[in-house]
Structure 1
Amino acid sequence: MASVLVSVFLVLTYAGPFATTSLSSTTTTTTATTTTTTTTTTTNGGSSECSSYTAINDVTRLTVAAAGSGCDRTLFSSYTTWVRFNGASGTQLATSAPASNQCGTQGTGWYSGSLPASGVSNSGTVCYAWNSNNCNWSNTIQVTNCGSFHFMYGILLVHRFAASVIVLHKQKDLI
C-alpha cells in the first residue's frame, strides 16, 4: 500500500521596495512508515532593481576626486531610489571612510555594511564623514548584488547639504 501527496505553494509578498518569493514544497510518501517533508524559501535576487534604476556616471564621486560642494539631497527622495554607479564614475560605493571634504563634496558618504552575495539583497548603513568623525550622520540603504556585473543601491534622501555618496574606481580601488 503506497500513497503519494504532493503540494506546492508559491507566495509573492510585497514588502516595500523588495518582493520576496517563498516556495514551499511538501512531498509526503507513505510506504509502511516513511514520511519526507521538504520546505525551501528563496529570496528573489533577480528583483526589478536590477533592471529599473538610475545610472550615475559622475567622476567627481571618485575617492581620488578633489573637494567640492556636491550634494545628493536633490537626487534622492524619501522613497528608495535605486542607482547603479557605472562608467568613469566607478562601480561600487566606497567601503571605508574617505576623508571629509574630498570626492566632490564636504560630507563623504561610504557604505559600512557587508556586501551581499550574488543574487541576494540586504540592508546596510551609509555613513557620512564630516571633519574628523567618520560617521557623523548615517542612513540605512538596501544593496542588491545583481551578479558579477554590478551592485544596485537603494538609497533614501540624504539629510544634509554638501553630502554625497562616494564611489570606488573600478576593481583596482577594492584592494
Structure 2
Amino acid sequence: MIMDAGATVPMRVFKITKESDSLLLRKNSIAVDVDPKDATLKKLVDRMYATVRDSLSLGAGIAAPQVGILKRIAWVQRFDKPDFPFEVILNPVIKQYSEKKQECAEGCLSIPDRRETLNSRAYAILVEYDTMDAGHKIEMVEDFTAVIFQHEIDHLNGILYLDHLAQEQRDAERSN
C-alpha cells in the first residue's frame, strides 16, 4: 500500500462511513522504529503529507490510521509558528494537560461533512515525540495547535473527536 505509488501521490483516507475503515480507525497504533534511512517510513511520511495537503482533503493534520496504517505517526499544522508549517511527529505522547480548557470547532478527514464544537480540549499540553532525523523533542503546545496535536494523537489511540462530543453530552445530562 505504501510503496504502490510515488511519494507525492495522496493515499486513500479511511472514513467512518465504511465499516471496515471504521473498525481500523478504532484500533490502537504501535510505535514506529525511527530510522532516517528507512525508505518505507520516508515514503509513508511523504505520502501522508501529500494526502493532508491534497485539494480533496486540506486538513490541519493527519494520522497514519487515517490512511490505513496502524503506526504512531502524524502530521500536524503548527499555527504557533511563522508561516504555519506542517511537521511530522513520531511516537507522540501527551505527558500533561492543562486544567484550562478551550472551546473549538473540530472536523476530521475521516468523518465527512461534519464539524462540531468541543469544550473538552486542553488549552495547553506537554507533548513528547520523535522526529524523522531520530531526534527527540519535549515541548509545550498551546491554543489551536494543541487541539490539532490532541486530535491527531487521539487517532493513534483509536479515539475520534465524536467520542469526546458524546462524553460532553453525557456529562451535561448528568449535571441537569
Which structure has more strand as a fraction of its residues? 1
Which structure has more helix as a fraction of its residues? 2
Higher Cα Rg, which structure: 1
The two structures share one fold, judged by TM-score above 0.5: no
